[in-house]
Amino acid sequence: MVHPASTCCKISGDGSCACAAQAKCSCGKENALHCTCNKASTENTVSGARCSCRARPAGQCTCERATTENHPIHGEACPCGKRPSESCTCEKVDKVDAAVEQLETDFTSRAH
């Protein structure tokens, strides 16, 4: 059985992470970080500890892990205090963002 990374909501059948597609703005059906409602100014940027989908603040998850992540932390927590110690997103933000950036292919700059 393949377990999803601590910064991924789910591993899909092809092995990719399906979290970004699941995370939604809290006030509608728009994708997280692309809100168009009155919460856009606060929800279209996320800093600090995040939900495992990385698009929402910790404790405000809207992906399929919301039921397990949107509760107070019991036991050992990350240094930021908002995530369990085995799935920190507070101090890993730069490393995770760098890893994700390396996985993405920029087709806009490729010659035909």
The domain ranges of the chain are 1-103
Sorting pLDDT into bands at 50, 70 and 90, what band is 83?
A: confident
Predicted confidence (pLDDT) at residue 71 exceeds the cutoff of 70: yes
CA-based nearest residue to 55, from 76, 38, 34, 39: 34
Highest mean pLDDT among 10-14, 34-38, 64-68, 84-88: 34-38
Predicted confidence (pLDDT) at residue 102 exceeds the cutoff of 70: no
Q: Given this model, what pLDDT does residue 89 score? A: 75
Predicted confidence (pLDDT) at residue 67 exceeds the cutoff of 60: yes
Task: State the Cα–Cα distance between residues 64 and 25, nearest whole angstrom.
Answer: 14
Residue 26's alpha-carbon distances to 54, 65, 70, 101, in angstroms, are 14, 15, 13, 26
Sorting pLDDT into bands at 50, 70 and 90, what band is 1?
A: very low
Positive/negative CA dihedral, 15, 89, 72, 44: negative
Q: Is 31 helix (H, G, I), strand (E, B) or coil?
A: strand
Residue 50's DSSP bridge partners are 57
